[in-house]
Amino acid sequence: MPKILTVILIAVIAGGAGWWAGYSQALGFAKERLAGYQVVPLPPDSKNLTGTIERIDGGMIYVRTLFVNPLEKDGANMVALATTASTTIEKFVLKDSKSFETEMTAFAKAAQKNAVAPVPPEPFTRQAILLSDLKPGESVSVTTAENVVGAARLTATSISATSLIASLPAGPQTSTGSAQ
């Protein structure tokens, strides 16, 4: 009887090892093939990431980034960002249309007078804000001193938040009441 158990145990171990080796090899081939289809390959080193705030817990901000590699685990696109006293946080706020129009008129006049084109005005202002002003659902762009590629936890040096898309006007209304 012990001889049969030994044979069964060896068969189970060999089967498990074979399955693991085959799985690892197939995943490696799939990753290589997927990398061949990418239009723009991932940089090996980057200090910036963008995403949407999922939650804020104390001094930690949890950001869901764009899902880059569908072969990685689902949690690979959630990044925990620690903030420090030196982390700068700003928010882009859309300018009112009258002040932006005034700036654009001045820009157009300056462009006609100068041989070198001036810098056009931005349609938003940057306001320094506190960590407590950030809200889940806001889009953020984060700069770190560390490589963000594949990282699950980082320390933010600067955070720029925006909800400009949500604050833009809906556009012209049709007779059915929806934007064109």
Q: Hey, where are the domains in the chain?
A: 1-41, 43-167
Of residues 75 and 58, more confidently modeled: 58
pLDDT for res 178: 45
Report DSSP state, residue 76. Answer: G
Q: What is the CATH number of domain 43-167?
A: 2.40.50
Contact 139, 163 (CB under 8 A): yes
Side-chain-side CA neighbours of 83 within 13 Å: the count stands at 20
Q: Kindly indicate the confidence band of residue 167, based on its pLDDT and cuts at 50, 70 and 90.
A: very low
Give the separation between CA 89 and CA 44, rounded to whole angstroms. Answer: 26
Taking residues 12-25, report their average pLDDT. Answer: 90
pTM, entire model: 0.62
Q: What is the pLDDT of residues 20-59, one digit of tens each?
A: 999 889 888 877 777 666 666 666 788 999 999 999 998 8
Percentage of the chain surpassing pLDDT 90? 38
Is pLDDT at 62 greater than 50 in this prediction?
Answer: yes
Contacts of 23 (CB under 8 A, 6+ apart): none
